[in-house]
Amino acid sequence: MIKKIFLLLVVVLIVMQFFGIDKTNPAIDERKTFAAIVNPPADILKLLKDACYDCHSNETKYPWYTNVAPLSWWIKHHVDEGREHLNFSEWVSYSQEDRAHMLHEAAEEIEEQHMPLGSYVRMHSEAALSKEDCEKLEKWLDEASHH
């Protein structure tokens, strides 16, 4: 019985591999991005790109393990959800009020250590923010939310 369950599980996992995710990033018009519109300091932009852009922009880099289902489905869900909440590549599409709110919320998420996700940082060491990085980013985001 256990052998049959194990075999069924292996077959299901193999079949899952035929249902890959779409890794196509939407096109980016650089003139409409957060970087072009807000023009943050280079160090702030680097922190955002390292810690946030994989899920919150159209510049997602999909590592090798996104070829393995069901992990790939989980990651794609995170990317889709992240872009839905905040997409730095489509900054122009947000109202001034929405932009201010998103920057304020981003500062809060970092302060409360909800972002970047721990599961993401474990696989992407460049996304780990030091205490100083967090403070610098929080301060800048909060100030930018008031402009």
Q: State the pTM of this model.
A: 0.89
Which pLDDT value is given to residue 72? 95
The whole-angstrom separation of Cα 98 and Cα 1 is 56
Chain centroid to Cα 119, Å, comes to: 12
Amino acid at 60: T
121-139: per-residue pLDDT in tens?
Answer: 999 999 999 999 999 999 9
What is the distance between the terminal CA atoms of the chain, rounded to a whole angstrom? 65
